[in-house]
Structure 1
């Protein structure tokens, strides 16, 4: 008995070790010091002011070349990703898309009947945050009129998708961009209909996390058993980097095409209905793009135009830069808006890819 248990533990240990990132010696030098000066200034946990980086991790050419943690976060900490969860839902849907389970043009009501009064609303529309539903994505500064605060914490928290579906339309689906955590949770409810209730509870793990070697993911559900795709995935920095590398490789992981390349291309294609100034970055298929749009300059001018990202509240970020062979994970606890994506990208590129310009 004990011999069998020992062998089982040994095999688990070897499997976890085999899934660790290949690493290079930790990078040093003036450019790295300049990066750290921005990302890790002296930290005041009393006031929570300034740039407050919890984790910074850089993958270059598939190898871990830089890693640093601060505050309570360590390499073993599954960190709250906030709205990075939205891009993770899009990635999970990509696996289902590759299995032939749905088409982008399918009406959402086919999989989530609560939207039957919006029969023209498609999965593509939700992935573009273009449902046309009258949603107010306000946070701490305007909680009384905030749809997202009501969904996450008050009258909508038990069944978040039903709460989102109850909103009236202000525009035809697919015509106008309006960032909405409700759209993301409607996608999570649709996924239940796409894969079936029997598979749904395990699907993020069996379809995405386990094939990537991610073993410590946490994805919360609401009381209706629907994943909170807007906000509540927890991953270590190293595990989130696996998602980034999967996207950088056009959906391929080892010998397996986990996501169809056409799905990744959709994620990285800008929504045609986006108007300049509606958000900091340009929306793609539930990912954010560093592209000029509607006559405006690119949002992160010191990064290459092929840069794309998953972004979350209080400074969470997963940046993917295919032309520089870089994946960057940044977790934070920024409360005053001083953190700038472009500044971190500029300094990281200078440290790990030379001076890469558009």
Structure 2
């Protein structure tokens, strides 16, 4: 698979297949170091026949076997863990076990766990107004939003089309608008003016919420997000490979979507959640944080929010908590999700983790997303 992607087209098909696995050759990144342990959970030999009976409705009156499902959802890698041991693992489209793949908005789940670790250590006040932690938010529409409201996508800010275009360039994922070359995330948020929005209402997906939270974490702790993820999450969980996080033109981290990780380490992150915040003997994230993720989300805010009806065909009750989507109609289950088909499913009750990396052509393909949800449920039954 040869390099064909540029900053202008790296998320477009077919370039995205290569680009999602080589983000470090397109964007500036910070490295998140690893510290592998012996007997890392995802490196045990999978049982090739475990999923032989897999079948999932294709949404058009037919059914797909496992190979058909993987192809239909443009899978780059799939790993299924049961009790921390691999029962199925496959790589496609040139992806290799040691190659980081961008997680897109599943990055929010990483930041949610980092926030939990920081909160548990007394380093992040969930009730604090964001402008108390990130000076860039003062005097603008984000003022008054709490850390918790940003984490749960319940801040009231909606970017105008012009602001959204400036934000895209400030993140470094698109060529900047003329006259805004070199303006990064800090400059973008400092430039947002206007009265504070009404915060705490229904769920509204605004990627800028988590990028602003990343600024707040760095300014309030005096540490870089990449260093904190490495120290508090990646090394303690025994990640086998370094990860990356993309950087805006000013060096600020893209906390809403920029983490790139191997499939196995993505699954390890899910195993931390399945194990109540633990990895071996290490309590990485407080168990109370994991329990709050499962029960603390506002179901009404989700139901009244912009995605309230989106997943209704597969989940009756949901909530968003700290970057994770909790499916209350199936107790003990939650998932992380990113555009172009990145998913991490965790079934705490049955101790199953399913990590899926993809290069779907469209940022969000509803049919593929629902097929992935059904496919994950079918995989969990066989695992």
TM range (shorter): 0.7 to 0.9
* Displacement of 1:333: 1.1
Q: Give the distance between the partners of 1:338 and 1:127, measured in 2 at CA.
A: 24
d(CA) in 1 for partners of 2:367, 2:302: 24
CA distance in 1, matches of 2:250, 2:279: 33
Q: Which residue of 1 aligns with 2:129?
A: 107
Corresponding residue for residue 345 of structure 2: 319
Q: Report whether the alignment pairs 1:328 with 2:354.
A: yes
Change (3 A) 1:135 1:92: same
Q: Offset of 1:345 from its aligned partner?
A: 4.2
1:334–1:305 Cα change, 3 Å: farther
Structure 1 residue 274 corresponds to structure 2 residue 302: yes
1:155-304 to structure 2, matched below 5 A, reads: 155=177, 158-164=183-189, 166-167=191-192, 168=194, 171-197=197-223, 200-214=225-239, 215-268=241-294, 269-271=296-298, 272-276=300-304, 278-279=306-307, 280=310, 282-291=319-328, 304=330
SS at match of 1:71: coil
RMSD of aligned residue pairs (Cα, Å): 2.9
Give yes or no for contact 1:132–1:173 (8 Å, CA) kept in 2: yes
Q: Is this contact kept in 1: 2:36–2:235, CA < 8 A?
A: no
- Matched residue SS, 1:54: strand
Deviation for aligned residue 1:123: 0.3
Say how many residue pairs are matched. Answer: 317
Q: Contact 1:35/1:344 (CA < 8 Å) preserved in 2?
A: no
2:67 paired residue number: 37
Write the distance in 2 (CA, Å) between the matches of 1:36 and 1:322.
Answer: 23
Query: What SS class does the counterpart of residue 349 from structure 2 fall into?
Result: helix
Residue 149 of structure 2: aligned partner: 125
Shift in Å, 1:116:
2.2
Match of 1:4? none
Cα separation, partners in 2 of 1:313 and 1:345, compared to 1, 3 Å = closer
Please, which moves more after superposition, 224-233 or 23-32? 23-32
In structure 1, the residue matched to 2:168 is: 149
Residues 146 and 276 of structure 1: is their aligned pair in 2 closer, same or farther, counting only changes over 3 Å?
farther
**1:111–1:351 CA distance, 2 compared to 1 (3 A):** closer
1:159/1:213 CA distance change after superposition, 3 Å = same
Per the alignment, residue 45 of structure 1 pairs with: none
Q: Is the 8 A contact 1:126 1:184 kept in 2?
A: yes
CA contact (8 A) 2:46 2:89 kept: no
Query: In structure 2, do the counterparts of structure 1 residues 15 and 91 end up closer, same or farther at CA, with 3 Å as the change threshold?
Result: closer
> Which residue among 50, 64, 67 is the counterpart of 2:89?
67
What is the deviation of 1:61?
A: 1.0
CA distance 1:317–1:200, shift in 2 (3 Å): closer
Unaligned stretches of 5+ residues in structure 2: 1-34, 56-63, 312-318
Task: Pick closer, same or farther for the CA change 1:348–1:131 going to 2, 3 Å.
Answer: closer
Q: Structure 1 residue 19 and structure 2 residue 54: aligned?
A: no
Change (3 A) 1:27 1:18: same
Alignment partner, residue 99 of structure 2: 77
Structure 1 residues 58 and 15, CA gap change in structure 2 (3 angstroms): closer
Change (3 A) 1:181 1:74: same
Change beyond 3 A, Cα 1:277–1:124: closer
TM-score by length of 2: 0.74
- 1:310 counterpart SS class: strand
Give the Cα separation in 2 of the matches to 1:209 and 1:135. Answer: 33
What is the TM-score normalised by the length of structure 1?
0.78
Could you say if the C-alpha distance between residues 112 and 323 of structure 1 is closer, same or farther in structure 2, counting changes exceeding 3 Å?
Answer: same
Task: Please state whether the residue corresponding to 1:353 is helix, strand or coil.
Answer: helix
Cα–Cα, structure 1 residues 261 and 225, in superposed 2: closer, same or farther, change >3 Å?
same
Residue 349 of structure 1 deviates from its aligned partner by 3.9
Q: Verify the 8 A CA contact 2:50 2:382 in the aligned structure 1.
A: no
